[in-house]
Chain A
Amino acid sequence: QQQVKQSPQSLIVQKGGIPIINCAYENTAFDYFPWYQQFPGKGPALLIAIRPDVSEKKEGRFTISFNKSAKQFSLHIMDSQPGDSATYFCAAVGTGANNLFFGTGTRLTVIP
């Protein structure tokens, strides 16, 4: 059973556009939601993370929006660049747990 559902599977935007990736979860024990960026042949790199006590977090061009009641969260990339082309994974983990539950991934392509 997929603990974290992610959409879309792939996304193509023009340079400067704002891609949005959405994730949803069911387990209310999750209390930490990181996003990872992965380039081909490399390991995932932590981009930004949020806890459910805030509704939005910004770091540079990356913003997470969090809707606790709907059990949904999303990643927005402002002023997207070709260098942002990568696969993005949302994830979730519960207090004291040691397992990151990953979403299925979104392959983002930013066209120059």
Chain B
Amino acid sequence: DTEVTQTPKHLVMGMTNKKSLKCEQHMGHRAMYWYKQKAKKPPELMFVYSYEKLSINESVPSRFSPECPNSSLLNLHLHALQPEDSALYLCASSQNPAKVNTEAFFGQGTRLTVV
């Protein structure tokens, strides 16, 4: 199983709403990532969890709050978003963050629209 599963696939939310994006992998990977991708642009790193601990936060606004409840799950909590936050949010995982890099597997993404 080389799959990273993201839910929901699509999400429309108002600027006052609170919602969460979920990501799950069962490959035993110990690094998990959130990326944001705008149309016709490459993915941009938001957060990295290494062994369930937040290791990288790329100066992301506090209206995005990541959580890693266990080694298989990664959440992204959303609150008071702006229309410019509309994008494809991608989750990824890779095998062992402490060793030479191996391939990162991406989920299908959540298409978020903020209205």
Q: Which residue of A lies closest to B2 (CB)?
A: A46
Chain B residues near A95 (CB-CB < 8 A): 100-101
A62 at the B interface (CB under 8 A) = no
Q: Report the count of interface residues on A (CB-CB < 8 A).
A: 25
Chain A residues near B101 (CB-CB < 8 A): 31-32, 93-97
Chain B residues near A98 (CB-CB < 8 A): 31, 33, 48, 50, 55-56, 97
Contact: B106 with A43, CB < 8 Å? yes
Q: Which residue of B lies closest to A105 (CB)?
A: B42
Q: Report the count of interface residues on B (CB-CB < 8 A).
A: 29
Contact: A96 with B98, CB < 8 Å? yes
Contact: A102 with B100, CB < 8 Å? no
Chain A residues near B6 (CB-CB < 8 A): 43
Chain A residues near B106 (CB-CB < 8 A): 36, 43-46
Q: Which residue of A lies closest to B6 (CB)?
A: A43
Q: Which residue of B lies closest to A98 (CB)?
A: B48
Going nearest first, the 4 A-B pairs with the smallest beta carbon separation are A102-B42, A43-B106, A98-B48, A32-B101
A-side residues, CB < 8 A to B, are 31-32, 34, 36, 41-46, 49, 89, 93-100, 102-105, 107
